[in-house]
Amino acid sequence: MKRLLIAVSLLLASSSSAWSQATSTASRSDFELGGAFSFVLPDYTPQKAYGFGIYTNYFVTPNFGVELDYHRATISQHSPATETSFEYGVAYREVYGIYRPYVRASFGRGSFNFPSQTGSQTSVADLGYNLYGVAGGVDFEVTRSINARAEIEYQSWFAGNGLTNGLTPVFFTVGAAYHFNPRDPRY
């Protein structure tokens, strides 16, 4: 009798109906990987910066997810300098047909490179900072597998390494991403 009870329990536990909720929940996840072009307003010079970025997001529900972002911007006029940042954070979005407006909050690390004051063109100062960013934008479906993005992001680099106020660049970004779940991108 004990063996029969164990066998029936194993049979019921391995049936498809016993796993139906886990399968349904797993199929609702959403993953994207994309690249972007950025126009940047740095706060330490009136010159504008241009750059690129890579981003990925993973939504475990239709509305909540996580995102990783990498940005690199270069100012080449008169004072060559670069700002590089890597961020990770949480995102919230709404789904309206092919449009997905979103907001996100992130934390990360930034690196500011510029020619040092020694006069040598090959000598570069590299300063690292902790940062936070807030962003808002919209992703929209171009095809079932390709999404486009328009975003504005404000970053605040914490003071340190000789800066009393930190850096506060603003990024205007446009990009495109490959959507890895094209079966039902709108849920």
- Tens digits of residue pLDDT in 137-187: 999 999 988 999 999 999 998 876 555 667 889 999 999 999 887 555 444
What is the DSSP annotation of 55-72? EEEEESSSSEEEEEEEEE
* Per-residue confidence (pLDDT) for residue 21, from 0 to 100: 47
pTM of the model: 0.75
* Per-residue confidence (pLDDT) for residue 147, from 0 to 100: 93
Secondary structure E strands in the chain:
30-41, 49-59, 64-75, 81-93, 99-115, 124-141, 146-157, 170-179
User: In the chain, pLDDT over 70 holds for what percent of residues?
Assistant: 71
* Per-residue confidence (pLDDT) for residue 153, from 0 to 100: 96
DSSP 26: H
CA dihedral (133, 138, 143, 146) in degrees, to 10, reads: -10
Helices (H), 28-175: none
* Per-residue confidence (pLDDT) for residue 187, from 0 to 100: 43
Instruction: Collect the ranges in the chain with pLDDT lower than 50.
Output: 8, 15-27, 123, 185-187
- Give which of 172, 187, 175 is closest to 34, Cα–Cα: 175
DSSP 163: B
Structure tokens at 130: 């902790």
* Per-residue confidence (pLDDT) for residue 17, from 0 to 100: 47
* Per-residue confidence (pLDDT) for residue 22, from 0 to 100: 45
- What Cα–Cα distance (Å) separates residue 178 from each residue in 34, 119, 128? 6, 45, 31
Domains located in the chain, CATH noted? 30-179 (2.40.160.20)
